[in-house]
Amino acid sequence: MYDGIKGFAEVYPEEMAAYREVIDTVEDTARGYGFREIETPAMESAEMYIDKSGEEIVEELYAFEDKGGRHVALTPELTPTVARMVAGRSQELAKPIKWFSTRPFWRYEEPQQGRFREFYQTNVDIFGASDPAADAEILAFGADTLTGLGLTADDFEFRISHRDILGELLRSFDGDVDVRNAIRAVDKSEKVDRNEYLRLLEEAGLGGDQAETFVDLLAAGNDDLDELVAFTDSVEPAVENLQAVLSAAADYGVREFCDVSLETARGLDYYTGVVFECFDAEGEISRAIFGGGRYDDLIESYGGPEMPAVGVAPGVMNSTLPLLLKRAGVWPDEEFTTDYYVLQVGDTRPVAAGIARELRERGHIVEGDVEGRGFGAQLDYADSINAETVVIVGEQDLANDELTIKEMESGDQIQVPVEAFPGEHNRPTIGDFR
């Protein structure tokens, strides 16, 4: 027996039915906001990531040389791909461009609970809108998705930061600060102790006192953003932008899910404005559920036009979101449902098949015998797939132009004329013939 590959999940039907409900909820919510579905390739030039996404992602790439000598990588995230697609048709497309897609991504990380090497995300992005309302619409989509899945404000929170607030604060200090590395230090701040955090900031060029001041400023800013403006005027436009996003989020009815948390910097280098991550409000799941933010420079960096962008990417399968749904007790509890089993006894297949076909044409889930089984074995199978109604097509009944309809839950059954079933009924049950 060949084993599956470590970190790659197989999903059997009952579990998949739950995932399907999650994915449908996420996608239907996106459609409701006018996001349009796209499909994207699973493979890109490895250089696209090596040049743009920073070290962290490169170490995790599934990269290799294909038979044509191309240095390729399985896509670890959608953003660079979708940025290229927007850049390629930026003239023709009406702005804002609002796209979504659900598909797998691959990262060579150490698997752990809720983290797989192959995982599914629904990416949801707005291109061509720089207004804070666009950032807020992304937050609103994210919050609506989670409440649509049954979560409440007690279950999750969006921790919101702003790259320009961090950048301007860092640049306000004298000296030669490497802003990119300092922001990476901020991103790690929750995972390391304070001394290590300070050390990483000093490594990025802050003096010891400056690092202390910076860390304290972020904490103060979380309670009152005006404290930051009092420290340095240069941060004012970014603070106003964050406040405008929060104000729009209030208009959109999702302010209650949003907390300012300046330390939530996100790892990827390409973010430019508001960034956020969704967390378990009860803290039981320690890692972020998903995240997103604004990346206004990325499309231009791909040779496209100036094109502001903001997006989010809930992980819908093989990810942390299912852990949160289970923790909160709202994981969809799906089981097999089957509307009809058409049971044939003796040489009655033409009639049985015709009935099955008519029921399927009405949109129902209908199974019949494909194994030449007897009455009892067919009834057992019908039971195992939770068939609601069994239509028994027997030779003797047929000789009298009759069928038997059996309601599985009650065990009640009734004989009906062949021509009356399904007849005019859209979803005939035993009750229609009593």
15 assigned binding-site residue: no
Q: Provide the minimum distance between the beta carbon of 180 and a second copy in the complex, in angstroms, as a whole number.
A: 21
C-beta of 194 vs 326, nearer to a second copy: 326
Tell me if 158 sits within 8 A of 249, measured CB to CB: no
Report DSSP state, residue 115. Answer: B
Task: Give the torsion sign (CA, 368, 374, 375, 381).
Answer: negative
Burial environment of residue 331 by CB neighbours within 10 A (0 to 12, 13 to 18, 19 or more): buried
Distance of CA 355 to the CA centre of its chain: 40
Q: Provide the minimum distance between the beta carbon of 2 and a second copy in the complex, in angstroms, as a whole number.
A: 4
Closest CA to 69 of 52, 45, 50: 45
Q: Provide the minimum distance between the beta carbon of 30 and a second copy in the complex, in angstroms, as a whole number.
A: 10
Q: Provide the minimum distance between the beta carbon of 401 and a second copy in the complex, in angstroms, as a whole number.
A: 19
Q: Provide the minimum distance between the beta carbon of 204 and a second copy in the complex, in angstroms, as a whole number.
A: 28
C-beta of 221 vs 304, nearer to a second copy: 304
- Write the CA distances from 79 to 28, 295, 307, 312, 324, integer angstroms: 21, 9, 13, 10, 25
C-beta of 175 vs 350, nearer to a second copy: 350
Tell me if 211 sits within 8 A of 225, measured CB to CB: no
The one-letter amino acid at 79: T
How far apart CA 315 and CA 56 sit, in angstroms, is 19
Residue with tokens 């995790």: 60
413 assigned binding-site residue: no
> Would strands 36-37 and 387-394 be described as parallel, antiparallel, or unpaired?
unpaired
Task: Give the torsion sign (CA, 297, 302, 305, 310).
Answer: negative
Helix (H, G, I), strand (E, B) or coil at 408: coil
Report DSSP state, residue 197. Answer: H
149 assigned binding-site residue: no
125 assigned binding-site residue: yes
C-beta of 92 vs 419, nearer to a second copy: 92
CA angle, residues 364, 367, 368, in degrees to nearest 5? 140
Q: Provide the minimum distance between the beta carbon of 199 and a second copy in the complex, in angstroms, as a whole number.
A: 29
121 assigned binding-site residue: yes
C-beta of 28 vs 240, nearer to a second copy: 28
Report DSSP state, residue 174. Answer: S
Helix (H, G, I), strand (E, B) or coil at 57: helix
C-beta of 173 vs 270, nearer to a second copy: 270
How far apart CA 58 and CA 52 sit, in angstroms, is 10
CA angle, residues 237, 239, 244, in degrees to nearest 5? 95
C-beta of 36 vs 180, nearer to a second copy: 36
Closest CA to 84 of 122, 43, 113: 43
> Would strands 97-106 and 36-37 be described as parallel, antiparallel, or unpaired?
parallel
Q: Provide the minimum distance between the beta carbon of 44 and a second copy in the complex, in angstroms, as a whole number.
A: 6
C-beta of 53 vs 210, nearer to a second copy: 53
Q: Provide the minimum distance between the beta carbon of 146 and a second copy in the complex, in angstroms, as a whole number.
A: 15
Q: Provide the minimum distance between the beta carbon of 21 and a second copy in the complex, in angstroms, as a whole number.
A: 11
C-beta of 239 vs 248, nearer to a second copy: 248
How far apart CA 150 and CA 24 sit, in angstroms, is 14
Per the annotation, where are the binding residues for L-histidine?
Answer: 77-79, 107, 121, 125, 266, 270-271
Q: Which residues are annotated as a binding site?
A: 77-79, 107, 121, 125, 266, 270-271
